[in-house]
Amino acid sequence: MSSDLTVIVLAAGGGTRMKSKTAKVLHEIGGRSMVGHVLAAVEALSPARVVAVVGHQREQVGPHIEALLPDVTLAVQEDQQGTGHAVRIALAAAGTTSGIVLVAAGDTPLLRGESLRAFAAEHEAAQCAVSVLSGIVDDPFGYGRIVRNDEGDVEAIVEERDATADQRSIHEISSGILAFDAEFLGDALPRVGNDNAKGEYYLTDTVALAREAGLTVGAFPIEDWVQTEGANDRVQLAHLGRELNRRIVEEWMREGVTVMDPATTWVDADVKLSHDVTLLPGTQLLGATVVAEDAVIGPDATLKDCEVGVGARVVRAHGELAVNGDGARERPYAYLRPNTRLDAGGKIGTFVETKNSHIGEGAKVPHLSYVGDAEIGDGTNIGAGTIFANYDGTHKHRTTVGKGAKTGANNTFVAPVTIGDGAMTGGGAVVRRDVPPGTLAVSGGPQRNLDRRTPRRAGDREAAAMGDSGADEGES
């Protein structure tokens, strides 16, 4: 395929049917915006240049596209006057009239790079002036129809609103993805008119101009038509989201991942999984999550931008920007907030919340605790109900617990404080000062047992349990 390839991505539309303050092409499925999926497919072609046409809500769309593809050229379409008008602006911004120009829509999130590559190669091999990626569908309503002559050559692409009754019965439709000889396109665009039902400049009118000039026009049906489907409202977006997820999950299963219930398992496009990972029902792997071999995730677990080590186990837990080492364990209702690092063999138990903390190799925070801004050494055990009090009302402070320490239940560590290697703390301790290595820290007063055998009312169950009738002389 020619190395002189320009790709134009159309992302200027208003998307009014989304009824959203967010631009249509920025709505997400599979962990990426719709235009993000399209740009990923475009990058697979290694084009010489990419031009994105922005217009509606361009203050949102433009920076988003530039963040994903820094070398992109943005072309601004102030008034949305149709695809022909948009491509004319893009071609001027590209500054070239050589090679191949491929035009794609920014709202087709299932589009794959290999499909674009095959289409561009077919266009080039056939030496077409214009080629359209077409599809054969059962219900062509709403799409432009591919009109062929008796010899099977493409005569025109007719939009739904402008089609005759016979043309509406055609089942071969245009995807809106077209390829052009750049020199022809530069000559044809100024001659495209807007004499149609919408008063717009249709890019597809270049087909008729090519035919009039005796040039070759091709239409190449794609078998997997769903790749070219766009989303105009949230119902269609959800439909494409389900289909994209089905494809992603199925691909991972073919790569050696066990998915117990694909219908309830969601995996974003940028997630990476290894062989022999097991995903149980209700699992969501989002963002750039990476899971190593033999790890088991779920049921009912959500991980976003997390790393999970070899053989780790995550059960009914929620994590974001957290790292789980090899063989680590997260138990039900654990909440790992950003910058949590659980080393190999460590454990975060039931109803434990962690944040900005490092839990060492083999260390355990079994249950009912909050660990914020902490360093916990290897082999240490944190007692149930422990609070790392990291906030003084103005600033956050860190707590350090050494290696092999054992802290009692219902402790409060008032940061900044350090508990040394091998140290212990008593149950209920409030630790405000450093604890030297190998020592025991207690903070509660001595236990007192108070006599509760005081007069009770008749029938008092507590008094009866203590052997007291509960009735004093003279009491009625």
C-alpha distances (whole Å) from 42 to each of 45, 103, 105, 158, 324 are: 6, 10, 11, 27, 34
C-alpha distances (whole Å) from 251 to each of 248, 259, 451 are: 5, 11, 70
Q: For residues 15 and 27, give the distance between their C-alpha atoms in angstroms, rounded to a whole number.
A: 10
Q: For residues 155 and 146, give the distance between their C-alpha atoms in angstroms, rounded to a whole number.
A: 8
For residue 63, say if its preceding peptide bond is cis, omega within 30 degrees of 0. Answer: no
Q: Where are the beta strands (DSSP E) in 182-315?
A: 217-221, 258-259, 266-267, 272-273, 278-279, 284-286, 290-291, 296-297, 302-304, 307-308, 313-314
Query: Environment class of residue 77 by beta-carbon count within 10 Å: exposed (0-12), middle (13-18) or buried (19+)?
Result: buried
Q: How far is CA 343 from the centre of its chain?
A: 25
For the question of residue 367 being annotated catalytic, the response is yes
CB 318 within 8 A of CB 336: yes
Length reported for the chain: 476
CB 87 within 8 A of CB 184: no
| Element at 431 (helix H, strand E) | strand 430-431
Given the residues 318, 367, 395, 397, the one annotated as active site:
367
At 159 the three-state DSSP class reads coil
Give one DSSP letter per residue of 82-110, joined into a string.
-HHHHHHHHHHHHT--SSEEEEEETT-TT
CB 257 within 8 A of CB 20: no
Task: Provide, for the chain, the percentages of residues in helix, strand and coil under a 3-state DSSP scheme, each rounded to the nearest 5.
Answer: 25, 30, 45
Strands 340-342 and 335-336 come out as unpaired
CB 203 within 8 A of CB 184: no
Instruction: Look up residue 75 and give its two tokens.
Output: 């072309």
CB 378 within 8 A of CB 363: yes
Query: Environment class of residue 294 by beta-carbon count within 10 Å: exposed (0-12), middle (13-18) or buried (19+)?
Result: middle
For residue 299, say if its preceding peptide bond is cis, omega within 30 degrees of 0. Answer: yes
Catalytic residue list: 367
